[in-house]
Structure 1
Amino acid sequence: MIRLSPDLDVQALATAFAANRRRLHIPGILDADSAEAVGGVLEAETQWKATVAAGGTFLELPLNGRVAADPAKQAWLDEAAVDGTNPLIQYIFDTRRLTADRELGLARGDAADGTLDFLNSKAFIGFARAVTGDDRIDFADAQASRYRPGHVLMAHTDASAGKNRVYGYVLNFSRGWRADWGGHLVFYGPDGHVEGGWVPAFNALNLFAVPTPHAVTQVATFAPQDRLSIVGWLRSNSPVGPQAKSETSAY
């Protein structure tokens, strides 16, 4: 079972969240055993899917480790590239869609699937409501993500009509990550400058209000390891206000 760390100071986190533009980095979010269990599963995972919306290419392909499961389609991945002049959201990364697999009866019952259960537990939903001061949070969706060198998620806000997204989250499982390896979660201000962001970490939760302009910067080609996380949105069962302008979604 995946559990919150017993050392979290919820009141202090709530104060910090409100004071920091309604976003927060929370280190040590899970107890040590839970973090190791989830991190170990993501590090050992081989059945990712490459997901690409970049340079006019739109695809999702099963992988065998780091290459296309169907060798005839490897060229599709090799040729995928972001068009830096295109204003639409673009991305290249690997995914394991925990919510979608659960709905299709494809859950594997490992610690990654257990994280989806944890995110929808009374303990975590109560924690999230307490930190944000927002009782609209009813449930969470989730996907595991792997950003390899060269992978990126360009600027977007997470707005999506009808999905009732209230907050975005990233559960980080990248060990010993260095800032110069890239893969940062960054937030943009009205002037287009970066007004904040966080380096990937291990056993840390990033939480932010939707809509918020943000991106995952490109993982450096020289990065010696992959950026691993479980990401998604905390959502409401009720409409949460105007989010009529949907984007091409990275989920």
Structure 2
Amino acid sequence: MIRLSPDLDAAALARAFEAGGKRLHVPGVLATDSADAVADVLEAETRWKTTVAAGGAFLELPLNGRVAEDPTKQSWLDEAAVDGSSPLTQYIFDTRRLTADRELGTSAGDAADHVLDFLNSEAFIAFARAVTGDDRIDLADAQASRYRPGHVLTAHNDVSPGKNRLYGYVLNFSRHWRADWGGNLVFYGDDGHIQHGWAPAFNALNLFVVPTRHAVTQVASFAAKDRLSIVGWLRSNTKIGPQARSETRSY
């Protein structure tokens, strides 16, 4: 069972969320045993898929550990590269789609899958509403992500018409991460400069309003670990008003 830390002060977090421009970093968000259980699963996971929208290539391939499950397609992954001259949103990272697997009946039933149940529990929805002050939050979707050296997600705003996304979130499960390994969540201002950013921190929640222009910086070639997280959006069952133009696919 995944549980929130009993030490959280929702009222104080709500004040910090508002003062931070509707962005918030919450360290120690889960009970310690819950965070450790999820991290153990993600570190041992082999059923990832690499998803790519970069350099004109669009693909998603199952992996066997860190290589293509179908060896004849390994070259597709080896050749995937971001086009640095393109203004389009691009990405390369590994994913395990928790919501989609649940809908397809292929969930593993492990601690990572239990996070999806936790995010849609009365306790977490009430916590999210209290922190954001937004009673429109009804549900959450989720995918686990693994960023290996070279993986990246360029600037985007998370808008996806019809998905009713209210807030993006990142639950971090990278133990002993160093900021100079990259994989940092950064937020851009209207002038193109980085306004704010957070390095991956174990058992921390990052929360921000949609739309917000942000990116995950490339994981360095010398990173000693993989960046592990569970990410997604807090959504409404009711259609929300018009948002800014979508810049990314529904991932």
Tell me the residue number matched to 1:139.
139
Q: Deviations over 1:130-174 (max 9, x none)?
A: 000000100000000000000000000001111100000000000
Tell me the residue number matched to 1:10.
10
Quick check: 2:150–2:218 contact (8 Å CA) kept in 1? yes
What stretches of structure 1 move > 4 A for 4+ residues in a row? none
Classify the secondary structure of the residue corresponding to 1:52: strand
Tell me the residue number matched to 1:224.
224
| Aligned mates of 1:173, 1:244 — CA distance in 2 | 31
| Aligned mates of 2:219, 2:85 — CA distance in 1 | 19
TM-score if structure 2 supplies the norm length? 0.99
Percent identity between the two aligned chains: 78
Q: Deviations over 1:70-111 (max 9, x none)?
A: 000000000000001111110000000000000000011000
Tell me the residue number matched to 2:120.
120
Q: Deviations over 1:41-60 (max 9, x none)?
A: 00000110000000000000
Classify the secondary structure of the residue corresponding to 2:203: strand
| Aligned mates of 2:104, 2:88 — CA distance in 1 | 30
Tell me the residue number matched to 1:159.
159
What are the equivalent positions in structure 2 for 1:83-98 lying under 5 Å apart? 83-98=83-98
Quick check: 2:160–2:250 contact (8 Å CA) kept in 1? no
Quick check: 1:5–1:28 contact (8 Å CA) kept in 2? yes
| Aligned mates of 1:128, 1:155 — CA distance in 2 | 25
Shift of 1:249: 1.7
| Aligned mates of 2:46, 2:119 — CA distance in 1 | 23
Structure 1: segments with no counterpart, 5+ residues? none
What are the equivalent positions in structure 2 for 1:39-58 lying under 5 Å apart? 39-58=39-58
| Aligned mates of 1:91, 1:77 — CA distance in 2 | 12
| Aligned mates of 1:176, 1:65 — CA distance in 2 | 22
**Are 1:71 and 2:82 an aligned pair?**
no
Tell me the residue number matched to 1:206.
206
| Number of equivalent positions | 251
Quick check: 1:91–1:250 contact (8 Å CA) kept in 2? no
| Aligned mates of 1:187, 1:247 — CA distance in 2 | 15
Quick check: 1:162–1:243 contact (8 Å CA) kept in 2? no
Tell me the residue number matched to 1:168.
168
Quick check: 2:186–2:194 contact (8 Å CA) kept in 1? yes
RMSD, aligned CA: 0.8
